A and B are shown apart, each in its own frame.
Chain A
Amino acid sequence: MSKIEVKSLYKAYVAGNGRGPEQCAKDQLILKDVSFEVKERSFTCFVGPSGCGKSTLLRIIAGFDSPSGGAVLVDGRPVERPSSKHIFVFQEDGLFPWMTAYENVAIGARWIEDKKERHEQVMEYLELVGIDGFENHYPHELSGGMRRRAEVARALITNPDLLFMDEPFSALDFMTRMHMREEMVNVHAMFDTTILFITHDIDEALQLGDQIIVLSERPTEVKADITLDFPHPRDLGSEPLAKIRREVYFLMGLHAAL
């Protein structure tokens, strides 16, 4: 059984009131008939032009936004509200700026009753993401990369069933982004988590994804649903991957960029 099933999902700005997607004015329609499935413990990347409904799509699956029509099933049940087992790492800084890195990560460890155990867990996860020694720093005292790490630690410490990441590394510099990419591969190998990851970086999707879903411009439809069955680390220059890369570029209308 699939972990997530998205069936004929559509979303319009104005509440649809039961009207089908064809009745909505074109500029009000964000998602139009989106369907796909995600396997348990897989890493799914969403790529698509900026301004398409990628973030909206993820917010709906996470339960922060409701669809105008269609269905989203997680473990066979419709999504109704956000869950503390489905953690969303937001595009902007989602760390609480009035809390230190330690206090932020501890928010994710609220479910641990025993104080000593909670403390040990928080320290362990801070170390896991490599920001131990900075636990008493406030977010504005950390670099962009460290802030992302703290946020990932806060998400992972909940032992999430689903992990949503909305362009988490897009604001980072090139080197930091490459490091974070590598570490996401490790994180996925270490944790039994299904990850849904939005990126506008096609290479990032090819490095990370078990599945790449290529989305169109608004109103968003699924242009392609590609399965990537390659072990990590991946060489994007190798022939089968290079071929998929060309395909994705082509699908996104980037003929001259190759």
Chain B
Amino acid sequence: MDRGTLRRRISSISGFVLLILVWEGAIRLFHVSHYKLPGPVDVGKGLLELAGSGVLLDHVIASLFRVTWGYFLAVVTAVPLGLVLGIWRGAREVINPLIQFLRPISPLAWIPIALLWLGVGDPPAIFLIFLSSFFPLVVFSMSGVESINVTYIRVATNFGLKGLELYMKVIFPAALPSIVTGLRITLGTAWLVIVAAEMIAVKSGLGYLIVDSRNSLRTDYVIGGMIVIGAIGLFLDHMIRKLEDLPGIRWHGKQR
């Protein structure tokens, strides 16, 4: 590790250290009740209890299971649809206004419909994740195709590329950086939405853990759950960012 990297590591950790110090200090200074805000040590103990009993892992797996399914279903439907709409102008002119209309409706507004249609349990939660990722992914894939540098299309035409070969060798790879950006952003959104969905529709998962702990006034579990959500979100983002370093994608933003 060179000095610059080391310095950045220390800086990024010191923000967390500062937060914990202010947190502990504020509790001691203002005598905050344990139910309103437990101290860092209590939250740490609470987290260890949850982890030790295996409850935490069950909730994490439940949440990740739902996110994986909802996100996966969105990726396999939205990306092909976006590509088709990007290429096929006629269809885009019909479908795009609809997508733009549905996109700003928060997935949370769909909760009642999801419960009515799919009952309780995993299906409505997965459906909400699907919705939260689907519309943005369509838009990212579609605009990825639409904004392809015209020179690439001209070069492809010049060398006689057409049909499937044109799509596989030029149009899809040219749109890929935009699709990958979409994948990264929607994974973040999916993780945001799962917690909200679990507060209502199901009896497991990190969202449920938080609501249930509040009901039993275990604020240490509530904050512990929040910390785990943040950590997993960070980890997911870190993993999906690796996609942007793949050789077929790395070129983006590095032209000249």
Q: Given A92-B151, A93-B255, A97-B255, A138–B250 Cβ distance below 8 Å?
A: yes
Report how far A62 CA is from B158 CA in the complex, Å: 9
Residues of A within 8 A of B52 (CB): none
Q: Which of B161, B173, B251, B252 contacts A107 (CB 8 A)?
A: B161
Report how far A154 CA is from B250 CA in the complex, Å: 22
Q: Is B158 a contact of A82 with CB atoms below 8 Å?
A: yes
Q: Is A87 a contact of B254 with CB atoms below 8 Å?
A: no
Closest to A98 in B: B173
Residues of A within 8 A of B45 (CB): none
Residues of B within 8 A of A69 (CB): none
| Count of B interface residues, CB-CB < 8 Å | 23
Residue of B151, B155, B170, B174 with highest tally of chain A CB at under 10 A: B155
Q: Is B251 a contact of A98 with CB atoms below 8 Å?
A: yes
Is B196 located at the chain interface by the 8 A CB criterion?
no
Interface flags, A59-95, vs B, CB<8A=1, else 0: 0001010000000000000000010101110101110
Is A209 located at the chain interface by the 8 A CB criterion?
no
Is B159 located at the chain interface by the 8 A CB criterion?
yes
Residues of B within 8 A of A93 (CB): 151, 255-256
Is B104 located at the chain interface by the 8 A CB criterion?
no
Residues of B within 8 A of A26 (CB): none
Closest to A85 in B: B160
Q: Is B152 a contact of A110 with CB atoms below 8 Å?
A: no
Interface flags, B213-256, vs A, CB<8A=1, else 0: 00000000000000000000000000000000001111110111
Q: Is A138 a contact of B158 with CB atoms below 8 Å?
A: no
Is B176 located at the chain interface by the 8 A CB criterion?
yes
Q: Given A94-B151, A96-B170, A98-B173, A140–B158 Cβ distance below 8 Å?
A: no
Residues of B within 8 A of A92 (CB): 151
Is A219 located at the chain interface by the 8 A CB criterion?
no
Report how far A221 CA is from B169 CA in the complex, Å: 40
Report how far A88 CA is from B157 CA in the complex, Å: 11
Q: Which of B158, B159, B251 contacts A97 (CB 8 A)?
A: B251
Residues of A within 8 A of B174 (CB): 96, 98
Q: Is B173 a contact of A90 with CB atoms below 8 Å?
A: no
Report how far A93 CA is from B151 CA in the complex, Å: 8
Tell me the residues in window 96-110 of chain A with beta carbons closer than 8 Å to chain B beta carbons. Answer: 96-99, 107-108, 110
Counting chain A residues whose Cβ lies within 8 A of the other chain, the interface size class is: 20 to 34
Q: Given A138-B251, A140-B254, A140-B255, A96–B159 Cβ distance below 8 Å?
A: no
Report how far A110 CA is from B169 CA in the complex, Å: 12
Interface flags, A124-166, vs B, CB<8A=1, else 0: 0000000000000011100000000000001000100000000
Is B154 located at the chain interface by the 8 A CB criterion?
yes
Report how far A98 CA is from B158 CA in the complex, Å: 18
Q: Is A96 a contact of B173 with CB atoms below 8 Å?
A: yes
Tell me the residues in window 146-178 of chain B with beta carbons closer than 8 Å to chain A beta carbons. Answer: 151-152, 154-155, 157-161, 169-170, 173-174, 176
Q: Is A90 a contact of B160 with CB atoms below 8 Å?
A: no
Residue of A84, A92, A107 with highest tally of chain B CB at under 10 A: A107
Closest to B172 in A: A98
Q: Given A96-B173, A138-B250, A108–B159 Cβ distance below 8 Å?
A: yes
Q: Given A92-B151, A93-B256, A107–B159 Cβ distance below 8 Å?
A: yes
Report how far A82 CA is from B150 CA in the complex, Å: 14
Q: Which of A90, A138, A140, A154 contacts B154 (CB 8 A)?
A: A90
Given pairs A84-B160, A97-B255, 6 additional interface contacts (CB within 8 A): A86-B158, A94-B154, A98-B248, A108-B159, A138-B250, A138-B251
Could you jot down 11 A-B contacts, CB within 8 Å? A64-B157, A82-B158, A87-B158, A88-B158, A93-B151, A94-B155, A97-B254, A97-B255, A98-B251, A138-B251, A140-B254
